[in-house]
Amino acid sequence: MLGYRPQKWFNMPWSKRCEALLKLLQTLMPILGPEDPYRIKIIWTAVTFYYEQEALRWLLRTTHCSLDGSVDHSTIHEALHQRLLERDLCSMRLIVRKTKNLHFCARKGYALTGFQTPTMLAMYDMNMFQLWRQILCELGHDIERFIRDELEEGFLRQEGWTESSMRFLFHVDIPSYSHPAPFELRFPSCQRCGRNNVVLGAKLMVDLEWRRRLRDIRLRFSDRLPMSSTGDQPDNPVPDVSLPYKTVCSHGCQDGICVAFIYDDDSVNEPKFPLYHDPDPMEWGAGSEANGRGVDLQETCPTNKMPGAFKD
């Protein structure tokens, strides 16, 4: 999986790499039984390395155990970070079906803090959330019960979400739209710092325009703002204010400033958006990102030429 990953440059189209990986999997995976829990790690790795379509679907269909992992290695969380909802809806549907606890709290990588449920991740982006609730409905989940179970985890409730606001969110008409950000391998790049999302360990980008809409829904279903006469939809829609950037990094841009959750407060005013300043290249360490592109650790590690060092 590491050798055929899309971040590795060699003269083989992506489709051919996936075909080659599928042949290897079909040869080696029978060593593990269909209910062997080690298959969960292999599927998680396949998702992490951006594999999709036939190779990933074959792995999922031949695995008969639950995909519920650990707080640091959750397949469904990784799939959301890798935008499988947009890239491969069929594989994502299989992952959701094979995950017992859809309200499990996990984080992205052992070194990062912040626990989130799959729904909280899907709420980073409008298109992602639309597809998330579509899959839940297609698989026959009771949305009312799903909302109650989600709020019982506590994280969304701490942010001010209630059953009324979540119910509105799961039933309101959400139009799909095209990301204004530049794409690479079907991943939107950050409009603030230019970082792309095709490096290993990348996190899901945040749609600021959508997050502003979420804040409006959350606040208008609280006790702070009045409801409309119908009692089902809040008054005062989101103001039509142009944003300096819309798609941004969820874990801080390359200048160390995070604006992804600038709308996660209880204010009804528009926030001030900090300008982006290019960091000093001399301060970038090995494995950091330059000009929005991931620097391969194998190219920067001073020990990669030592005998026995792992290197492609």
Q: Is the pTM of this model over 0.95?
A: no
User: In which band, very low, low, confident or very high, does the pLDDT at 72 lie, cut at 50, 70 and 90?
Assistant: confident
Has residue 108 got a pLDDT over 60?
Answer: yes
pLDDT at residue 228, rounded to an integer? 45
| 18-47: average pLDDT | 93
Both tokens of 61, joined, read 């269909």
pLDDT for position 239: 55
**Lowest mean pLDDT: which of 56-60, 188-192, 297-301?**
297-301
Residues 190, 124: contact at Cβ < 8 Å? no
pLDDT attached to residue 281 = 56
Inform me whether the pLDDT recorded for 210 exceeds 60.
Answer: yes
* pLDDT digits 0-9 by tens, 7-24: 788 888 888 888 999 999
Measured CA to CA, the distance from residue 154 to residue 173 in angstroms comes to 26
At 86, is the secondary structure helix, strand, or coil?
helix
Q: Using 50, 70 and 90 to split pLDDT, how confident is the model at 180?
A: low
Among 103, 128, 99, residue whose Cα is nearest residue 116: 103
| Residues 62-82, mean pLDDT to the nearest whole number | 91
Question: Residue 100 — pLDDT band, cuts 50, 70, 90?
Answer: very high
Distance CA 94, CA 151 (A): 24
Q: Residue 304: pLDDT band by 50, 70, 90 thresholds?
A: low
Q: Does residue 111 register a pLDDT over 80?
A: no
Query: What would the two tokens of residue 160 be?
Result: 């001010």
pLDDT of residue 229: 41
Nearest CA to 168 out of 111, 267, 234, 254 is that of 234
User: Average per-residue pLDDT in the chain?
Assistant: 82
Residue 6 pLDDT grade (very low, low, confident, very high; cuts 50, 70, 90): confident
Distance CA 259, CA 261 (A): 6
pLDDT at 285: 42
Q: Residue 103: pLDDT above 80?
A: yes
Residue 209 pLDDT > 70, yes or no?
yes
Q: How confident is the model at residue 308 (pLDDT cuts 50, 70, 90)?
A: low
pLDDT tens digits, one per residue of 220-255 = 887 655 444 444 444 455 556 789 999 999 888 999
pLDDT exceeds 50 at position 162: yes
Q: What percent of the chain is modeled with pLDDT above 90?
A: 52
CB 45 within 8 A of CB 73: no
DSSP structure class, residue 190: P
The highest-confidence range among 85-89, 109-113, 230-234, by mean pLDDT, is: 85-89
Q: What integer pLDDT is reported at residue 258 of this predicted model?
A: 92
3-state SS string for 223-252: CCCCECCCCCCECCCCCCCCCCCCEECCCC
- State yes or no: pLDDT of 289 exceeds 80: no
What is the average per-residue pLDDT within 299-307? 49
Say whether 199 sits in a helix, a strand or coil: coil
Task: Answer yes or no: is pLDDT of 83 > 60.
Answer: yes
Residue 145: HSE in the Cβ half-sphere, 13 Å Cα cutoff: 6
Query: Which backbone phi and psi does 213 adopt, to 5 degrees?
Result: -65, -40
Q: By three-state DSSP, how is residue 212 classified?
A: helix
Residue 69 has pLDDT above 90, yes or no: no
